[in-house]
Copies of this chain bind each other. A is one copy, B any other.
Amino acid sequence: MPPIKETSTVDVLIVGAGPTGLFTALCLTRLGIDVRVIEQRIFGEAAGQADGIQSRTVEMWDSLGTGDKLRQFGKIVYQMATYDPNEQKTGIKAASKVLNVPLASARYQYELTLQAKHIEEIIRDALSEVNVHVEQPCVLSKLESLVEADYPIKASVVQCVHFDTEKLAASKFPSYAREKAASDKYLVDYVEIIRARYLIGCDGARSWVRQQCGIVMEGTIPGLTYGVIDFTPVTNFPTCHAKSLIQSPLAGMLGYIPKPNGTARLYTLLRDTVLIEALDKGSEEERARKLSQIVSNGFAPYDMRVEDITWCTTYKVTQRVASRYSHNGCIFIAGDACHTHSANAGQGANVSMADAYNLSWKLAHVIRGWASKSILDTYELERRPCSLELIEFDKDIQDILSPDSYDPEDYAKLWHRQLLFVTGLGLQYKSSLIIPEHFQDIMAGVTIGRRFPPAEIIRYLDWVPCNTLDIIGYTMKFKLLVFAGDTTQPSVMTLRADFIEELGKIPRFREIVEISVILGVKKEASATGYPHNKGSILTLFSVFIDDGINSEQQPGLVHKAFKISPDVGAAVLVRPDGHVAMVFPPSIDQVHLLNNYLSTL
């Protein structure tokens, strides 16, 4: 073993720089947490091929300041089309064309597809801007968690092996198993001891971190086998810009997904075991030729020429979920390291990014001393059921895809029934951080536990239109949105002013909560304003009006959509990750509810 050259400390050490690890790093740095990211791949070595970004995930990217880049590099997919066998069973015919995300609660009615490398590049660029750089190639060779008196409080002592890139590249160790290379002195550049407060294993389905912690993967539901091919279509297929689900009498079930720059991905469900074996064992060239042939047949009577193939493989995923998501309270796993899914639901990296988004703010709160360590338990409590649900959903899809009864219309219907789930918009957490439904009725249009929905309001001070999602963002603070109702009624105004004054007396309120007040009045009628005197917890920037710029628009539309009474109003506490923690009436006698919540964090 080469001599140990460095001993260093860090708040959070992230293992793996795929989409999960990078996204975790971005979340944490946005919250001001010190991170390091290590990756066993040499820079440029390809990793995953996940490429679909669902509607809720786009919102998350927005909140981290990277949404525009996503739209810039991505293909925006608004349409979903289905194709049935034609009458003569000689080819396919158009069956339906619908909106991809027909949900009123969606900010974006589309999903995005990107090249996997662009997903990583965008986050790497954003990290570089705050001087966080992925350290690669390197691996952990030893991982211990122990209690210490000084920094770290409870530490992971980690032995981190930095490789000599050139020698490693020449060594033929596969990119997914570089741990083995750690014992080859010749390849090692230097070894470093890292003391981290927390460690997050984002090191994929073969997770080394998971294995070190003795966490096992549970479940043995075998997925179906798919062929997948990335290519440039030359075609007269009419919906080559739509997500298209095709049941071909000649080639079976095909899923066509448009990608940026005129390219596409095609999934083909493989049932013929002889064919599967031939594809698996054949050369890359043979595989490409055979899959191209299936594609061409499948689109008849349309021409579909497969050109410029950039990726071509077959795969079968056994769906599994980790028995635990954490170890000793200081090691966590996220992404493929704790759940593997089939591609049927198009979830790819979306579930993994949601892991990161959920875990990061909790870690940040604990590290900053704003919350006790017990909130870290809610990571598994909130995220693990999502993976189990995803597997259930996938089973339903597999049933529908079974050869005898497959019907693309059924698939589309199942898809639409599960849209809230598939898009991430219906994700509803249940844990000690969510206070269930006893005041749900004063804001019936917003679901406790789900992410707070988007709504257009205007800022009081300058009438600039704002979206609630942008107001919430992704910061350390909880957001308290006070829908004040009709404050042109003096009695309502007095009640709200008293309420807000009382909030200011809650210990730590100013420190960990950011308040916004939304007046349910006409913008021209708001001249008298709102109490934002010196010493008040309100500033001019935290007052909004539930009205539009368009003069014909009625005021109070958001109150109405959220089913809030203009007399009663509603206060809603939103977690840093955008999920609704609790709803309560904005009156003095209910302030203790918020106080209780904050004091038990």
Contact = CB atoms under 8 A, between A and B. Distances in A.
Contacts of A65: none
Nearest to A103: B551
B94 A549 contact: no
A492 to B, nearest CB: 21
Contacts of A102: 551
Given A524-B98, A527-B97, A241 B78 contact: no
B109 A78 contact: no
Specify the main secondary structure of chain A where it touches its partner.
Answer: loop
A77 interface: yes
A409 B402 CA distance: 73
A147 interface: no
Interface string A426-461: 000000000000000000000000000000001001
A463 interface: yes
A9 to B, nearest CB: 38
A462 B549 contact: no
Given A99-B551, A109-B549, A549-B109, A463 B529 contact: no
Nearest to A238: B529
A79 interface: yes
A234 interface: no
Contacts of A153: none
Nearest to A465: B78
Interface residues of A, number: 26
A321 interface: no
A191 interface: no
A76 interface: yes
A126 interface: no
Interface in A219-242: 238, 241-242
Interface of A: 76-79, 94, 97-99, 102, 109, 238, 241-242, 258, 458, 461-464, 523-524, 527, 529, 549-551
Please name the 9 residue pairs, one residue from A and one from B, whose CB atoms are nearest each other, closest first: A241-B462, A78-B463, A241-B461, A109-B549, A79-B463, A102-B551, A97-B527, A76-B464, A78-B462
27 contacts: A76-B462, A76-B464, A77-B462, A78-B458, A78-B462, A78-B463, A78-B464, A78-B549, A79-B462, A79-B463, A94-B527, A97-B523, A97-B524, A97-B527, A98-B524, A99-B463, A99-B549, A99-B551, A102-B551, A109-B549, A109-B550, A238-B527, A238-B529, A241-B461, A241-B462, A242-B462, A258-B462
